[in-house]
Homo-oligomer: A and B are copies of this chain.
Amino acid sequence: MLTGQRSWKFNNKPVIVSTGTTGGPFEAEGNISKDIDLLHNDLYMGEDSFEKAHKILLEKAGQKAIEKAGISKEQIQFYLAGDLINQITPTSFSAKTLGIPYLGLFGACSTSMEGLALSAYLINSQGADYILTGASSHNAAVEKQFRYPTEYGGQKPPTAQWTVTGAGTALLSHSGDGPVVTSATIGKVIDLGLNDPFNMGGAMAPAAVDTIEAHFSDLGVDASYYDLIITGDLGQIGQQVSLDLLKQHGVQMEESKYVDCGLTIYNKDQQVNAGASGAGCSAVVTYGHFLNRMKKGEFNRILVVATGALLSPLTTQQKESIPCIAHAVSIEAGGDRQ
């Protein structure tokens, strides 16, 4: 149901009945490794290319969620997912393995919440009994495509971010035990003219702010409604820019409740410059780490604002600026609603 300008309110409270998360060797050394269901100790994951390994990440994350929910994949009507690779082939090939009717999405690193927003909408309005949604990235596959093959050893400025190797999926239904999705706000493309592909956080910050403000306005809430407001992968620079912008716009925001997936996944000792990024980043950190903490009772209401930079290497070569977007989804602690 449309609420305000560009938000949906989910009165039937779709449930996230289970999640599945996977990661690579670098994530295994990170800050939230215990929240990741399956950690691969090799970037190839038994495949002969990074792109095929990328597919495995998402496929296994999906299978994990299905297994944890104790249902069969035949009970799931739709699979909504995407990634950063050209023509989102890792996701489409995972859809072939999973065999679930498939709606491919592209929202760069905002894909996780684009998928969760649409999935919650469909479940809320009786469009499906079960939906699987997810997003993923693979460091070596993404670096190869957007920058250089990692073997080349290209240097990066301190504003650059580290692409997560990982996938996160959520299985939604209209009943069951688990956190519930209560609303979503869809992002507009915001582009303030930045064109440095090594400072995505700075480019994406205004999109996060725009969506947060739209969410508060559409839902008639402010930051005090949430225990945590979690951005996708702004990193250090993007987070600071967004805090400055929120202050300039007069939006009250306690800094202690404003956290970023890109600053959560790795340890301080891991050299990732300004933080983590990648379509898998917000998916793994939200569906693994933050939902685990919610289930433990640490907090009850979170707003996840996944940010995406909608550029390509070609648009950068053609001197275009970076169009950015952010989609926000509100998740609240549920109870047994069966």
Give the interface of A toward B (CB within 8 A).
1-2, 5-6, 8, 49, 51-52, 77-78, 82, 84-89, 92-93, 95-96, 99-108, 114, 118, 121-122, 125-129, 186-189, 191, 310-315, 318, 320, 323, 325
Contacts and interface: CB of A to CB of B under 8 A. Distances in A.
Contacts of A1: 125-127
Contacts of A99: 188-189
Nearest to A318: B49
A2 B129 contact: yes
B312 A127 contact: no
A314 B186 contact: no
A103 to B, nearest CB: 6
Contact of A87 (B84, B122, B186): B84
Contact of A51 (B96, B311, B314): B314
Contact of A77 (B6, B121, B311, B320): B6
Residue in A107, A118, A128, A315 with the greatest tally of chain B CB atoms within 10 Å: A315
A187 B95 CA distance: 11
Contacts of A186: 77-78, 101-103
Nearest to A111: B104
Contacts of A314: 51, 85-86, 89
Given A89-B320, A99-B188, A99-B189, 8 more contacts: A1-B127, A49-B318, A51-B318, A92-B310, A95-B188, A100-B188, A101-B186, A102-B187
Residue in A89, A129, A189 with the greatest tally of chain B CB atoms within 10 Å: A189
A315 B101 contact: no
B89 A86 contact: no
Residue in A85, A92, A118, A313 with the greatest tally of chain B CB atoms within 10 Å: A92
26 contacts: A2-B126, A5-B77, A5-B101, A8-B127, A49-B318, A51-B318, A82-B106, A86-B314, A87-B310, A88-B106, A88-B310, A89-B311, A89-B320, A93-B310, A95-B323, A95-B325, A101-B187, A101-B188, A102-B187, A102-B325, A103-B186, A104-B107, A105-B106, A118-B118, A121-B122, A121-B125
Contacts of A318: 49, 51-52
A155 B89 CA distance: 26
B127 A323 contact: no
B312 A86 contact: yes
Contacts of A52: 318
A281 to B, nearest CB: 17
Q: Shortest 10 CB-CB distances between A and B: which pairs?
A: A92-B310, A87-B312, A96-B189, A125-B125, A104-B106, A6-B101, A101-B186, A86-B86, A106-B106, A95-B189
A306 B77 CA distance: 19
Nearest to A83: B106
Contacts of A103: 105, 107, 114, 118, 186
Contacts of A95: 188-189, 310, 323, 325
A52 B321 CA distance: 13
Contacts of A313: 86
